């Protein structure tokens, strides 16, 4: 299949990053206004932690992952729909698409606190009270973020963990406080940080 290529454009790259930031700010502001506890998770949380050490090491991501409590889902829905998002469920993930013409690829995806995303995961997702306040929104704590990334352990999660390791945010001192499956996964990354 042939792929149609557009022109190279710094502006398009900048706009892509700005669109994610705007979406994250709009979603979290709506949750804040409604008094709903939440924490930013996923790639944006990794980027926030990485930026505290080395902004040149920050990776961008196209979606926004937000941790909420399932008991708040109806309130979350009302708040995000009020901010222009459209609720959808895509491959068992509750997400909020950015307007009628938006895409699930760059939507706001919900993670439910205290639940396993997949039954095979070693532990449940963090709670929303495992968070730190940032300038713009609340972000999952580093410990909660590392647990969540070790839980998923997909290629992109491994890359995110390697970023945290390379900057000294995560090291072998973490191993004793992890469940055995997570400790094994982290040991694997620490042993071969270049893959």
Secondary structure (DSSP) of 15-66: HHHHHHHHHHHHHHHHHHHTT---EEEHHHHHHHHHHTT-GGG----SSEEE
| Digit-coded pLDDT (tens) for 83-136 | 999 999 888 889 999 988 888 888 999 999 999 989 999 999 999 999 999 888
Please report whether residue 44 resides in a domain: yes
Count how many domains the chain has: 1
Q: Is residue 125 part of a domain?
A: yes
For residue 190, being part of any structural domain is answered with no
Residue 1 lies in a domain: no
Q: CA-CA distance, 116 to 122, in Å (whole number)?
A: 8
CATH number, domain containing residue 17: 3.30.460.40
- Is 153 a member of any domain? no
Boundaries of domain holding 130: 12-141
| Residue 57, pLDDT above cutoff 90 | yes
In this predicted structure, what is the pLDDT of residue 54?
Answer: 96
Which of these, 98, 93, 24, lies nearest to 64 by C-alpha position? 24
Report helix, strand or coil for 94.
strand
Is 177 part of a structural domain of the chain?
no
Q: 């990334």: which residue's tokens?
A: 149
The CA distance from 195 to 189, in Å, is 8
Residue 122 placed within a domain: yes
Within-domain flag for 33: yes
The pTM score is 0.92
């Amino acid at each position: 299949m042939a792929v149609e290529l557009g022109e190279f454009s710094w502006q398009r790259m900048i706009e892509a990053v700005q669109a994610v930031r705007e979406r994250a700010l709009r979603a979290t502001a709506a949750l804040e206004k409604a008094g709903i506890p939440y924490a930013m998770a996923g790639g944006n949380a990794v980027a926030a932690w990485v930026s505290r050490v080395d902004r040149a090491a920050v990776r961008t991501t196209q979606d926004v992952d937000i941790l909420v409590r399932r008991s708040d889902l109806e309130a979350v829905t009302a708040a995000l729909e009020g901010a222009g998002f459209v609720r959808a469920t895509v491959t068992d993930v509750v997400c909020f698409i950015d307007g009628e013409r938006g895409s699930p690829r760059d939507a706001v995806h919900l993670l439910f606190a205290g639940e396993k995303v997949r039954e095979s995961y070693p532990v449940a997702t963090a709670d929303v009270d495992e968070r730190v306040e940032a300038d713009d929104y609340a972000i999952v704590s580093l410990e909660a973020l590392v647990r969540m990334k070790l839980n998923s352990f997909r290629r992109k999660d491994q890359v995110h963990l390697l970023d945290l390791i390379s900057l000294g945010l995560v090291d072998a001192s973490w191993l004793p406080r992890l469940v055995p499956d997570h400790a094994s996964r982290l040991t694997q990354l620490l042993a071969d940080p270049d893959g």
